[in-house]
Amino acid sequence: MSVHVISIDQYFDKDLLAKLYKRANDFSKLPLADYPKPLQHLTLATVFFEPSTRTRLSFETAIQNLSGQLITVENAGDFSSAKKGESLEDTILTINAYADGIVMRHPQIGAAKQAAKVSRVPIINAGDGGGEHPTQALLDLYSIQQCRGKIDGLSIGLVGDLLNGRTIHSLVQLLAQYHVTIYLIAPDSLQLPAKYLKLLKSNGATIHQVDNWDKALGKVDVLYMTRVQKERFKFVEDYLAIKDSFILTPKQVAKMKKEAIILHPLPRVNEIDPAVDQDPRAKYFEQVKNGLYVRMALLEYLFKH
């Protein structure tokens, strides 16, 4: 039976996280020439119906670093038989003939779950519309742990499009396993969906929902920025009305703790001034690198477990 990665709430408990993060840390310290070759007889397919830079390239680099083979379809909505009207199920069954695992991004919420129902090989959800992005959450939590040395006891500010942000939806499910204080910093129209809010509260997290970050900036240990996602809005006017609600500049960063860190799943649009990049608290490009090691650890676990 295939082990899929569809949602972060499937089996990613603290024990598994510890194993994955230890392995990711091992990979981060090894030169490329010394990487093991556990997946040398396996082929991974990356199939992206939505654009991607970091997720697609990190998975493709990860499988090759572990000596596996790669086949890839970028812009699959236009450059696969989906353009001709082929169903997602038929596309997945076809790729099953060529690959031992499939990393898939799709604009439709629930598409990864739909694919997993028919696939005989593991499906890894690389983002399903405004649903989830589980592997991003894995690397986000790893980045927090690496930078701050712990998760319990931290105050974490989640900023921007909490309604449509699939990275946020997956990350809060991991954070719910820890004793944290969370500031949900967003316009009222983009606040976190009720089901995730309920999960956090039921697990004992302290929650502050705010539409102004002035008082929160000096309290958070982690500021997790996200962009307002234009592609999730039905009307462009609604997007334009709130897209500039939270823009992080050196002026705002100066209000933060010296030991705080700034993360962002990227891509950014204008929500972080490039001048912030020079601040030692800006860790979003380290976060990108961490994604490679975490995804290497995940692929090794899925195929060798």
* 133 catalytic residue (yes or no): yes
Position 18 scores a pLDDT of 96
Higher pLDDT, 275 or 165: 275
* 55 catalytic residue (yes or no): yes
* 105 catalytic residue (yes or no): yes
Same domain, 116 and 178: no
What is the distance between the alpha carbons of residues 273 and 248, in angstroms, rounded to a whole number?
A: 6
Same domain, 181 and 276: yes
- How many Å from the N-terminal Cα to the C-terminal Cα in the chain? 12
pLDDT digits (tens, 9 = 90+) for 274-304: 999 999 999 999 999 999 999 999 999 999 8
Burial of 192 per CB tally in 10 Å (0-12, 13-18, 19+): buried
Half-sphere exposure of 226 (CA within 13 A, CB side): 26
Same domain, 204 and 175: yes
Same domain, 100 and 189: no
pLDDT digits (tens, 9 = 90+) for 32-90: 889 999 999 999 999 999 989 999 999 999 999 999 999 998 765 554 566 556 899 99
Same domain, 278 and 296: no
Same domain, 123 and 141: no
Reported as type and span, the H/E element at residue 256 is none
* 54 catalytic residue (yes or no): yes
**Active-site residue, from 4, 56, 106, 133:** 133
Q: Tokens 């209000």 appear where?
A: 255
**Active-site residue, from 4, 105, 264, 283:** 105
Mean pLDDT of the chain: 91
Q: Could you list the residue range(s) of the whole structural domain that residue 52 is in?
A: 14-132+290-304
In a domain, 4, yes or no: no
Q: Residue 1: is its pLDDT beyond 50? A: no
State how far Cα 135 lies from the chain centre. 5
pTM: 0.92
Same domain, 173 and 223: yes
Same domain, 64 and 183: no
pLDDT-above-70 percentage for the chain: 90
Same domain, 172 and 37: no
Q: Where are the alpha helices (DSSP H) in the chain?
A: 14-29, 54-65, 88-96, 111-116, 134-148, 166-175, 194-202, 236-242, 250-253, 284-304
In a domain, 5, yes or no: no
Cis omega (within 30 of 0) on the bond before 265? no
Same domain, 200 and 227: yes
Residue 182's SS3 state is: strand
Distances (CA, A) of 210 to 45, 117, 161, 177, 192: 41, 39, 13, 23, 11
* 232 catalytic residue (yes or no): no
CATH number of the domain enclosing 139: 3.40.50.1370
**Active-site residue, from 54, 219, 255, 268:** 54
User: What confidence category does residue 245 fall into, taking pLDDT thresholds of 50, 70 and 90?
Assistant: confident
**Active-site residue, from 4, 46, 55, 226:** 55
pLDDT-above-90 percentage for the chain: 78
- Kindly report the number of other CB atoms within 10 A of residue 195's CB atom: 8
Same domain, 65 and 203: no
User: Which residue in 287, 281, 11 sits closest to 167, CA to CA?
Assistant: 287
**Active-site residue, from 29, 84, 258, 305:** 84
Q: Tokens 């009222």 appear where?
A: 188
Half-sphere exposure of 45 (CA within 13 A, CB side): 22
Number of domains in the chain: 2
Same domain, 282 and 140: yes
Half-sphere exposure of 75 (CA within 13 A, CB side): 2
pLDDT digits (tens, 9 = 90+) for 172-226: 999 999 999 999 999 888 899 999 999 999 999 999 999 889 889 999 999 999 9
Q: Are 135 and 156 in contact (CB under 8 A)?
A: no
